[in-house]
A = this chain, B = another copy of it.
């Protein structure tokens, strides 16, 4: 099964390879009768053009890359059963059993948007999710295969980024600009959290909301906290005087914080969480403990993940357009490819505050 090449098609159709190439790239430049003859040969021979050859000759691959670090590092050991295995296991699945994998919705959505936008503009998409070990190799590999790549901010060492950016344009997703010249796309973290906080202050007359922070090195969380502080300041409240709970964006850790809060017996009127997962962690504990949300305590999140729409009560949150983030990243790259010398792009996408029962009370 030797794959057919332009030469095979050309010979079969009785034309030169240039004509075959034209039929595929610029059909209008070829006489209709010739074109049809060539296409018939393409069909007959099962010809599929080699992207490698085309990429080499045309000096562009027509592929955009997307790299994310892996959040949940799944076990690497498990081998996929390769042969037939039609066994069925029956499991009594108790709630909260270890079978739960926190779905990395964020990545899924960004990927979806990226994929869509790339193809829409005639580009294919290559994805890489960095495994714990060495993203370096992977990023470098991808860089050699694409015309440009988008990378989650902070997920790749600066020097590596420098290195690959000498070959192709790089777009950073979701981080703030840090004195670099890369193109950036992110969402309005600050404004979103500010709007949400302001709503709590004004509509619900909360005066001492407690912020539940994410990891200290998260730029996203920092921006969100800034919005929180600004809203308070605008209302004449000094945020630095208020306590802050330090979480790590995980649901598990948030549950611990919730337990501690209950143990201490000092529930604030409102918990403003840096992301949805943590907010859900609080709900996990409050429900069974008899703490009513939002009557006893208001809980809000940030992200707008699916689980927050399915929880009881449903979670008030700030929804960020994750798919659009991916799309914007691709757009930025395409723009950069067309205008290599334009100034660095900074794209900020709008967010949406979703008021639901965890803050508004039962409908």
- Residue numbers of A with Cβ under 8 A of B are 1, 3-4, 43, 46, 48-56, 61, 63, 74, 76, 80-95, 100, 103, 105, 108, 111-112, 115-117, 119-120, 124-129, 131, 138, 140-145, 162-164, 166-168, 188, 190-192, 194-195, 199, 306-307, 309-312, 314, 318, 323-324, 327-328, 331-332, 335, 340, 345-356, 360, 363
Given contacts A103-B306, A124-B145, A128-B115, contact A85 B349 (CB under 8 A): yes
Looking at chain A's contact residues, the main secondary structure is mixed
Q: 18 additional contacts, CB 8 Å, given A48-B164, A103-B108?
A: A3-B166, A43-B163, A48-B144, A51-B55, A51-B144, A82-B332, A82-B345, A85-B348, A86-B188, A88-B188, A89-B351, A91-B354, A95-B314, A111-B127, A112-B129, A116-B129, A126-B126, A310-B311
Given contacts A3-B166, A129-B116, A355-B91, contact A324 B124 (CB under 8 A): no
Shortest CB distance A338–B (Å) = 13
**Contact between chains at A83 and B163 (CB < 8 Å):** no
Task: List the B side residues contacting A192 at CB < 8 Å.
Answer: 88
Task: Pick 30 A–B contacts, CB within 8 A, sort by A.
Answer: A46-B166, A48-B143, A48-B163, A50-B144, A51-B55, A52-B145, A54-B144, A55-B55, A56-B56, A63-B145, A76-B120, A80-B331, A81-B349, A81-B350, A82-B331, A84-B348, A85-B188, A85-B350, A87-B191, A88-B353, A90-B195, A91-B353, A92-B360, A93-B354, A95-B314, A111-B127, A119-B129, A124-B142, A126-B127, A312-B312
Q: Which of A93, A163, A192, A195 has the most CB of B within 10 A?
A: A93
Task: List the B side residues contacting A145 at CB < 8 Å.
Answer: 51-52, 63, 124
Task: List the B side residues contacting A93 at CB < 8 Å.
Answer: 314, 354-356
CA distance A328 to B51 in the complex (A): 26
**Contact between chains at B48 and A350 (CB < 8 Å):** no
**Contact between chains at B90 and A353 (CB < 8 Å):** yes
Q: Which of A108, A327, A328 has the most CB of B within 10 A?
A: A108
CA distance A93 to B308 in the complex (A): 12
Shortest CB distance A244–B (Å) = 23
**Contact between chains at A346 and B84 (CB < 8 Å):** yes
**Residue of B whose beta carbon sits closest to that of A324:** B80
**Contact between chains at B46 and A163 (CB < 8 Å):** yes
**Residue of B whose beta carbon sits closest to that of A164:** B48
CA distance A160 to B192 in the complex (A): 47
Shortest CB distance A139–B (Å) = 10
Given contacts A116-B74, A354-B93, contact A84 B347 (CB under 8 A): yes
Shortest CB distance A163–B (Å) = 5
CA distance A125 to B351 in the complex (A): 31
**Contact between chains at A195 and B88 (CB < 8 Å):** yes
Task: List the B side residues contacting A347 at CB < 8 Å.
Answer: 81-84
CA distance A76 to B332 in the complex (A): 18
Task: List the B side residues contacting A105 at CB < 8 Å.
Answer: 103
